[in-house]
């Protein structure tokens, strides 16, 4: 009350005006509100289920593209190792005595008779019953 006595005339007038106001009748639909609340609460899990289904379908689809016998292993860890490789030149394989360069040299120095001997395997006849 102490508070009321402190009001100015203008405030008192505003107070009276407020007292004349009446509350409007309520329009809330309890069922609709409950449905909407439920719908909102389920949207998130629905999106999760949809995403999970799509992901499973994707995995199932791509599994047909993987050749039989291959397993999908995790990618190996590739470590960068410095190598002394020259990409502009072919790698130098071990020089065989049957390589063109060695044969050319042999023939140029000592003639065709000096071709290095080629190692030949011994073959034997195979009988048909040996394959069974």
Partner 1 sequence: MRTIKSIGIIVLSVACSVHAQATRPADVRTFELSPVAPPKPALKYQLLFDDLGDRRPGNAAILYLDSILIMGPDAREKAQKTLEAYEGKDVKTFDSMADSLQLPNLFSELDLAARREHCDWQPPMREMGPYTLLPHLEPLTNGVGKLVKVRALRQIEQGQAQDALNTLRLGYELGKNIGQEPVMVSALVSVAITSRMNDALAQLMSHRQSPNLYWALSELPSQQEVFRHAMDGERSYVVPSTPSLMKLKEGEELSGDQWRRLLEYIWRIVDAGVEPPDAARAHRDPIKDTPPQVIDQARQHYMQAHQMPAEQVAKLDPTVIIGNYFWWEYQVWFDEQYKLRGLPYPLLMAHTRDQGAQVEKVRNEQPANPFQLWDVSKSIASFARLDRQIAALTAVEAIRSYAAAHGGALPARLEDVSDTPVPQNPVTGKPFEYRVENGSATLADSQSLEPLTYTIRISK
Kindly list the residues in this chain that would bind partner 1 in the complex (CB under 8 A). 86-90, 92-93, 95-96, 98-123
CB of 84 to partner 1, least distance (A): 11
CB of 90 to partner 1, least distance (A): 6
Q: Fill in the DSSP letter of residue 69.
A: T
Which one, of 129, 96, 132, lies nearest residue 115 by Cα? 96
Which of residues 63 and 108 has its CB atom nearest to partner 1 in the complex? 108
CB of 80 to partner 1, least distance (A): 21
Structure tokens at 85: 């490789």
Which of residues 72 and 85 has its CB atom nearest to partner 1 in the complex? 85
Structure tokens at 63: 């599994």
Residue 93 CB-density burial (10 A; 0-12 exposed, 13-18 middle, 19+ buried): exposed
CB of 126 to partner 1, least distance (A): 13
As a whole number of angstroms, the distance between CA 89 and CA 91 comes to: 6
């Amino acid at each position: 009350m102490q508070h009321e006595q402190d009001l100015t005339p203008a405030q008192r007038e505003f107070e009276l005006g407020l007292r004349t106001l009446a509350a409007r009748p309520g329009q809330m639909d309890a069922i609709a509100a409950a449905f909407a609340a439920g719908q909102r609460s389920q949207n998130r899990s629905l999106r999760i289920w949809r995403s999970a289904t799509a992901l499973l379908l994707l995995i199932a689809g791509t599994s047909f593209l993987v050749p039989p016998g291959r397993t999908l292993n995790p990618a190996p860890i590739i470590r960068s190792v410095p190598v002394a490789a020259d990409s502009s030149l072919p790698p130098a394989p071990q020089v065989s005595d049957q390589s063109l360069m060695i044969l050319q040299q042999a023939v140029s120095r000592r003639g065709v008779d000096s071709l290095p001997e080629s190692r030949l395997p011994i073959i034997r006849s195979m009988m048909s019953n040996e394959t069974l």
